[in-house]
Each structure stands twice: as C-alpha cells, then as structure tokens.
Amino acid sequence: MSKSLALILIALFVFYSQFLNPQKLKAQAPSGIALTKHVDKISAASGDILTYGVDWQNLSSTETYNNIKINDSVPQGTDYVAGSASSQGVFDGTQITWTINSAVPGAFGSVSFKVKINGPNPFGFAGLYTNSDGTRAQDLKVTFARKELWWHSVETSENTYDFTPLDNIYNSVNNYNLELMLDLRTQRGWGTDCTRDSSLSGTPLSTSSCPPKDISITFGAKGYSTLYYDYVYAILQHLFDTNRPIQYLVIENEVNTATFWYGNADDFLKTRTTAYKAAKDFRGNNLRASNLKVVDNGIADLVWGTAVTREKYCSNDINGAVSFAGRYLQRINSQPVTADYLAQNIHCPIQSTDFLARDYSILKKVFEKDPGLGGPSFDIMSYHFYAPWDTQEEVINWISLEMQKNGYQNPIVLTEGGYYDKLRYYTDDPSVAAKLKQDVANDVVKDHIIAFANKVKAWIWFPLEEKNSGTTLNSDYKGLYQQGGTPLPAQISYQLLVNKTKGFTAIKRLNLINPDIYVYEVSFGGRFIYIAWARNSEIIDLSHQISGNVRATNVDLSSNIVNSSSITINENPVYIESINP
C-alpha cells in the first residue's frame, strides 16, 4: 500500500551554556513510522556547531510508505550551516525538507543537519600560507581565514575553468576547521583591461587587479560586465555544488592604491556591483546560499584616519582634528601634529595636492549606492585598521555615519588589522623590544573588544607570523609568532582573549565618570566577565557588578584574587570574573 506522509518534527530550542538532552519525538503520522531526534553534544555555548540527527524507521511489518517528507525547523537561537543537510535535504530559509522515496517494512535510515548557535566567535586571520599557519589558527580556535583567489588562475580563458586553485584554497582552510572568507581579485589577464585609468603612471604590479575589459556604462541583467558576472557565478556554483559553502565573499582589496587596484573608483564600483548582482542572483536560485554575503574591499588603514581628521578639520573642530591625528599617527610620525601641520595638508574644499586626496575621494565613492541596483552593492562594509587602539571607535563611528548619509546601514567587519609601528620596528635594545611586545599584547585585547562593543561582526588579524631577519625586531607589522614559530606575548594574549570571550552574546562599555578608564562587560546570556584597563594606574569599584572576591587575570596569564570593590588597573588589560562556580 502506498501512502504519502508529512512527518513534522518539533525543533529543539537551544539555550546558551545549558545542558542539551537528546529528545525522542513521536512521529505525527500513522502508527508504524517512528522518528527519533538527537544532538551530538551534551552541553554547548554560543558559537558552537551542533549536528542534529533524525533517525526514522518503518515499524510496520506489512506496509510500504512512499514519498515520505521529513521536515525540521532550524532551532531558535541558531543559524543553519549552509550545505550541511545530508541526503539532499533542502533548506528553504526556515526549515529543512528531506524526501525518502520508499520505506519497505522494517526499513530505517537517518538524516542530519548542522546549526551554529548565535553569539559569534568572530576571530580570524589573513595571510595563512603554510600548514603550520593552519595548525596555529586551529589551535587558537578562530573561525575565519581570509584568502585571495585570482580570476585567471581559475578561468584560464573565456568559459574554460580549472577549479583546482579554488579547491586548494578551500581545502587549505577547511582542513583546519576554519571558515573561508574568500577574497576575489581580478588581477591581470585575458579578461581585464589595465589601461582604463590614464591618470595612473607606470605599470601594474604583480599584486594589482585591473577592471574587467567589457565594463559597460549601463547596468544590465549581468551588472556591468558579462565576463565577470559569469566568473563570479561559476565560482559560487562550484563551491556550493561540491559542498564547499562560504559565508563571506570579499571583492578586491585596498582599491585606493594602485598596488592592489589599477583602475579608477567608478570601475571598481561597477566591478563590485557586478559581483554583488551575481551573488544575489545565485542566492535567489540556491536556498543553500542564504547566508552568503558580499563584503566591500577594505580601504587601507591610513585613509580612514585621514577621513576622520579631514572632516573634523573642515567642520571647524580644529582641536578635535589635531587630537585625533596626533593619536592616529603616533606610531608612524615622529613629528608632533599641530594645527599648522594640518593646514598645510588639508584644504576645505579638498585640493588634488592634499594628503591622500585621491584615496579619500575613492573612500567616499565606495559608500555610494549603485543607480542600477537602487542601493549599496555590498551586504557588509569592511575596513582595515593598524592604528592605535584609542582611535578605532571614531573610525567605526565615521563608517556608520557615512552609511547613514547615503541612506542605509549595513553591518561592518574588519577584514585586515593588527599592530603597525614604523618608529620602533627595528631595534636591538632589549628594553624597547620588551615594551613593544607588551604593547602589541595589550592592543590585541583593546582592538578586538572595542570593535565588538561597537557591533563589528568579525576582526581579521594580520600577520600571524612576523617576518624577522635575525635582529631583535625587524618587522613593522607585528605578529603573534616570531618567524619560525616561537610564540610572542601577543599570542598568549590572543589565545586568552579567544578563550575568555568565545560565544559572547554582547559586549558593552560601562559608563564611568573618568573617560580614561575602560571597563567592558562581556555577556554570555546570564553570565558576565569584565575586561578593564586605564591610561594610568587607577582603582575601580565593580562591587555593583560582582560582589565579594574576584579573579583578575592579566594578558600574560598571571592572576590574583582581589576584592571587587578595589581593583587596581593600568594600561595592561585585565580579565575580571567571579570566583564562585
């Protein structure tokens, strides 16, 4: 006898840091069909991946059931992991549906899917080049790895594809349980035109990307470039067809500089819009890609500081401009920043001779809506940041305000950041080297916590390993490891930060009277820890937040027990948490 069944399963609710018991559910179907749902963990926190399994069995000894539909909703508080449904299960945005063609008497089987508990683990790295890098990233328990892909390494000639380089990149990340943040670069080749911007002198570098050669002035069904649209769509089709889903698709890198983009701003916007159109169309045709987001390129660090300084200066906030620029430039400029210095480099309105004038105009352009789309051609705005920690919040605020000025408000991620020091990078003075290493370890905490408190969705550190040349320090971009793999104090600080904050649900700064005291409350549902530092030595009272004695843990892992009403803090961040179970 043939019967069509719709078997509806009751979803499990997932609560942060609570014990998860497997639940056996009665099938809402005629007797003879049994369903059992189970989960692979007995405890979980936000940011964890859970695998739900559904076992089915035909208990009848006489009846055969055909076209069985098994539906399961994604639990509240979780996100479906794209492509994770087994047995050709289809995710429609809210639930997964499996079809069992036939179940003879006594037949049984199982289907499954994965979810990620809300509350991010928003850490990642750029520049993972070796197996050792992958192992270190895995050991540090980060989520993301940002890696670039050249157009012509995959599409070797028009409509001729070799996906081996893409597969190698994906596997090099996935092998270490990392999530690929794929950075598409056009680079140079048969599909690009490097002569479109006559204002650029010289020739493109090996790192430079050029605009697609068929860019049109009008927006069409495939954006502004059929060649590039087809390439992006093919990349996504291959990834998802081979069960290699991605969440973040970054379009180009630091397009303000010819080092990475050998073209003008308008051509980049058309390139980004074309990629966005391809991704949007692919999402519409593939339910498994519902989490796919297009990320803007990430303008270089110094340009953001220039933008904040310029707009403060041109709004007659001269003191604010001098203060911000002085802090922003303190690790790359040994000369004091004064009003006269700014007057020599900033004109209102802007002049072509102004400091980073071209870069600033490109930065403003990337926020503009595309007229063909009627909105921004990205889902997530991106920035790069290597400046002192106490300037980042102003940069993030500027980004949010710029999006508001353009009529939208999208999420923000940092796709490249870390610690840059041009003044102290080369030294054989042990005391200078030790202080610099401690400063990097401190900024690891400050940079991430300030960003997350301001709703930045992910923070990608670069580099993982410094490139030294036999001296005490010989790298202006500071890493977590010395060349060769020896951990630096920053590595200890980073690992402690990830371990202490993994799965947080919210971070906010406490409103204290003294603006030079920084205390952040990190929430994990019903549990809290506090991270604090100050510009000078201070004593803070957190007895209203935590009563009695608390454990204060420093970035070097040393700790002591103190009373919550009298906690001494300084420029070195400290983790403060209850000693009660």
Residue ranges of E strands in 338-390:
381-385
CA distance 65 to 565: 68
CA distance 339 to 36: 71
User: Do 277 and 225 contact (CB within 8 A), yes or no?
Assistant: no
pLDDT (0 to 100) of residue 231: 98
CA distance 515 to 536: 11
pLDDT (0 to 100) of residue 77: 57
| Lookup: tokens for 513 | 């009277």
Q: Give the DSSP letter string of 135-202.
A: HHHHHTT--EEEEEEEHHHHEEETTEE--HHHHHHHHHHHTTT-EEEEEEE--SSTTB-TTS-TT--S
Q: Give the DSSP letter string of 186-254.
A: --SSTTB-TTS-TT--S---TT-B--BTT--SS-BTTBT-HHHHHHHHHHHHHHHHTT---SEEEE-S-
39, containing H or E segment: strand 33-39
CA 97 remoteness from chain centre = 30
509, containing H or E segment: strand 506-509
- Between CA 264 and CA 268, with CA 266 as vertex, the angle to 5 degrees is 75
Other Cβ atoms within 10 Å of 389 Cβ, number: 23
SS3 113: strand
Torsional sign, CA 109, 115, 121, 123: positive
Tokens 């990830």 sit at which residue? 498
- CA–CA distance from 417 to each of 54, 330, 410 (Å)? 42, 17, 20
CA distance 30 to 38: 22
CA distance 568 to 547: 16
CA distance 294 to 457: 14
pLDDT (0 to 100) of residue 414: 98
pLDDT (0 to 100) of residue 519: 98
| Lookup: tokens for 505 | 């649900």
pLDDT tens, N- to C-terminus, the chain (581 residues): 444 333 333 222 333 322 243 443 333 444 567 888 888 876 566 567 889 888 888 888 888 888 888 888 777 557 788 889 998 888 887 688 888 888 889 898 989 999 877 655 899 999 888 889 999 999 999 999 999 999 999 999 999 999 999 999 999 999 998 999 999 999 999 999 999 988 888 889 989 999 999 999 999 999 999 999 999 999 999 999 999 999 999 999 999 999 999 999 999 999 999 999 999 999 999 988 988 999 999 999 999 999 999 999 999 999 999 999 999 999 999 889 999 999 999 999 999 999 999 999 999 999 999 999 999 999 999 999 999 999 999 999 999 999 999 999 999 999 999 999 988 877 778 999 899 999 999 999 999 999 999 999 999 999 999 876 544 444 788 999 988 889 999 999 999 999 999 888 899 999 999 999 999 999 987 889 999 999 999 999 999 999 999 999 999 999 999 999 999 999 999 999 999 75
Which of 166, 181, 177, 183 lies closest to 134, judged by CA?
177
pTM over 0.85: no
Report CA dihedral (180, 182, 188, 193) to the nearest 10 degrees: 170
Radius of gyration for the chain, computed over Cα atoms and rounded to the nearest angstrom: 26
